[in-house]
A and B are shown apart, each in its own frame.
Chain A
Amino acid sequence: MTNGQRIIGLHLGLLVVLFALQFLLPAYHHGNMARIMVLASYAIGYNILFGYTGLLSLGHALFFAAGMYGLSLTIQHAGFTPAPALLAGVIAGIMVSAGLAFLALRTTGVAFMIVTLMFAQAGYLTILYFAEYTRGDEGFVIQAGQRLLWGIDLSDPTNRYFAAFTLFALCLLASLALVRSPFGRTLVAIRENEERVTMLGYNTFAHKLAAMVISGTLSAAAGATYGLLFGYAGASFASVQYSIFPLLWVLLGGAGTVLGPFIGTLFMFYLIDLSSGITTAYMLIAGVTLVLLTLFAPQGLIGELRRRVWRWLP
């Protein structure tokens, strides 16, 4: 078997397992898994910029929220049906990420982190400021009747699982295709040594700009889907916490691996879920586990797997 076949087999295999799980999982985990797949799609978007291009953004909540509000505001105030509203969310993500990329990519390193963080905070405050439309922190519910996509009721758990799965499958396969393409390989090279890439004749600014827009667009698609599937939009999704989450998920799962974002999200979700069943001080358990992981698997779970066993993992 060639490495290419192994890679395709492994990723399609995961999708098959996730598809089959919807028939096997008990209701509670079924709901969790739908949520994990949407959040993992967000992490996949984040990973394109952080894991593959080497740009650490602290402002991705802005893109997630752009998608979520692009969808929910058009449903709530413009009477959109879900399909065009989803599109509105994605377009909002493209515009916001392109705008921020033009400004933030003039900086590098710590300055890039600060600029992205500040713009995301500005976005968060904007949502609070226009509370008349957004209902600020409290947020608003998207009614079940407004969540019929081509006649499919997305408040129904099975439909919701399938919609989350569809989004996740698209993001995973897009990410896989991207990192195996010449463009994706150039991004990795930029991460490793940007000046050398310039001196090979590549326009690194254009590459980073494209990477940031792709990353922002996937994040926005996840945000829009999240709002649509779980029927709620609130300002907390634009807060700094939601910029830190994907960073954490990606680091735990393995930055610069295609499967890492999913594994990291899954791991973190159930770590908190299980530890909160044991004690109210669940963050203590989660914290210790994270410290241990950082000590013994500094490249994340999939990153370690790649380093030790499967060198061919993309």
Chain B
Amino acid sequence: MTLLSTRSLSKHFDGLSAVSNLDFDLPKGQVRALIGPNGAGKTTLVSMICGRLAPSSGKVIFEGRDITHLPAHKRVCLGIAYTFQITSVFPRLTARENVALAARRHLPKAKVQPAVEDALKRVGLQDRIDEDAGNLSYGHQRLLETAMGFVQQPRLLILDEPTQGLADNEIDNFKALINDLRKTTTILLIEHNMSVVMELADRVTVLNFGETLAEGTPQEIHENATVQAAYLGTG
């Protein structure tokens, strides 16, 4: 069953076409990686999906419903969680309060704190729970951002470059976390780290100049000559 699709989705910034006529389908339960060179339109695409950007034309359909004109906060309530590429935690609030804000919207009061503690434990931040988010290292802020995403128990979790700035052992933890989350959540992952993509993704979509260059299993993408030429730079 298709959870999310876009039809002829386009976004133009003045003369620049960031995404053009994109048809994209994401079945329920999949972990999909979205890759492509810088400026390929990845963040623009997910921004239109979650409602931060209005498309120039085309449609976004979520669970069979046209959500193209729905404001961002209502899409989030439908179950689309987005974690920002540029870390966007609340720096002067504690890690606990950051995650609690995300949890409180959908959970009854008594379940908020346990959910918050569990989420922070799963990203390995249980020792920093009462620290101000602004005092955490960049990598830890990325993990906090991820925790704020999945604590919402979304149907679709969009992660925009979640492993940027993480140490190797933290990346291993992150992979384990995604392998755990994939049991319950569909995940759309923008990622530059190829080991993460190869290990986690069920399928990979490659964007280039706002269009789909290729789509397939990680193995197929790895062996695809066009992709190699455009992106991996080994051609």
Chain A residues with a Cβ under 8 A of chain B: 182, 185-186, 188-189, 192-193, 195-204
Chain B residues near A196: list those with CB within 8 A: 84, 88-90
Interface status of B62 (Cβ within 8 A of chain A) = no
Chain A residues near B105: list those with CB within 8 A: 200-202
Chain B residues near A201: list those with CB within 8 A: 73-74, 76-77, 105-106, 152
Please measure, in the bound complex, the distance between the C-alpha atom of A201 and the C-alpha atom of B84, giving whole angstroms: 14
Please measure, in the bound complex, the distance between the C-alpha atom of A197 and the C-alpha atom of B105, giving whole angstroms: 11
Q: A188-B93, A189-B90, A189-B93 are in contact. Are A199 and B84 (CB under 8 A)?
A: yes
Chain B residues near A188: list those with CB within 8 A: 93
Q: A185-B101, A189-B101, A192-B93 are in contact. Are A200 and B88 (CB under 8 A)?
A: no
Q: Which of B73, B90, B97 contacts A202 (CB 8 A)?
A: B73
Contact with A along B77-109 (1 / 0, CB 8 A): 100001010001111110001001110111001
The SS class assigned to the A binding surface is: helix
Interface status of B116 (Cβ within 8 A of chain A) = no
Please measure, in the bound complex, the distance between the C-alpha atom of A45 and the C-alpha atom of B101, giving whole angstroms: 24
Q: Using CB atoms, name the residue of chain B closest to A197.
A: B101
Number of contact residues on B: which range applies?
Answer: 20 to 34
Interface status of B45 (Cβ within 8 A of chain A) = no
Q: Using CB atoms, name the residue of chain B closest to A206.
A: B73
Q: A188-B93, A198-B72, A199-B76 are in contact. Are A193 and B101 (CB under 8 A)?
A: no
Q: Which of A192, A195, A203 contacts B91 (CB 8 A)?
A: A192
Interface status of B50 (Cβ within 8 A of chain A) = yes
Q: Do B101 and A186 touch (CB < 8 A)? A: yes
Chain B residues near A186: list those with CB within 8 A: 101, 104
Q: A185-B97, A189-B90, A192-B91 are in contact. Are A199 and B72 (CB under 8 A)?
A: yes
Q: A201-B152, A202-B105 are in contact. Are A193 and B88 (CB under 8 A)?
A: yes
B95 to chain A, nearest CB (A): 14
